[in-house]
Amino acid sequence: MSGFAEYQPGVGRQAVEVGVRPAVPADLQACAELIVTRTGGSAAERRNRLHADLEDPERYIAVAVVGDEVVGYGGVIHHELSPADPPTTAPTGYYLIGLIVSPDRRRSGIGELLTRDRIRWVTERAGEVYTFVNLSNGAIRDLHENFGFTEVTRDFVFPGAPLEPGTCVLLRAGL
């Protein structure tokens, strides 16, 4: 089980009123619960890490809301290469990470809205943005291609990310 939505290119979007905004502390429990639906683990631990992200000016958390319900999450982090990193380590820059939409809200454009908002945030700080995606997740690959992301490499590592060799692709977009 991959945790990704079934890829259905061409399937019509569901109409839904959704807002996207920066996360606030009250959103973090819902974000943590979304994350553990895909990754497993402890929602409390995830919430604590998200709280630290809110405090870090080099990180950003966007949430999608329908009414008062958080239905999507996406983050941005700044990664800095270290001299001790292996030569295949992903380059220094801002990275879109962790795009997750509630299963019952997928196919409504929420991932696109969250991606647009996160790119807006990065545009205020840099001239390019990176992400890495699982090769088996066709929906997320198409989404990023629509934003102008192109492949950099499939031979890379990212500190702290449990990437299996040959399963992910590093993407970059100019802003």
Domain range enclosing 166: 19-174
Residue 1 falls within a domain, yes or no?
A: no
Reported as half-sphere exposure (CB side, CA atoms, 13 A), residue 111 has a value of 24
Residue 8 falls within a domain, yes or no?
A: no
Residue 5 falls within a domain, yes or no?
A: no
Beta bridge partners of 60: 76
Residue 152 has pLDDT above 60, yes or no: yes
Residue 7 falls within a domain, yes or no?
A: no
Unique residue bearing structure tokens 């996360």: 23
Residue 30 falls within a domain, yes or no?
A: yes
Asked if 64 contacts 20 with a C-beta cutoff of 8 angstroms, the reply is yes
pLDDT in tens, 68-102: 999 999 999 999 999 999 999 999 999 999 999 99
Distance between CA atoms of residues 107 and 139, nearest Å: 10
CATH number of the domain that residue 29 is part of:
3.40.630.30
Q: How many domains does the chain have?
A: 1
Residue 33 falls within a domain, yes or no?
A: yes
pLDDT in tens, 23-70: 999 999 999 999 999 889 999 999 999 999 999 999 999 999 999 999
Residue 58: what are its φ and ψ, rounded to 5°?
-95, 10
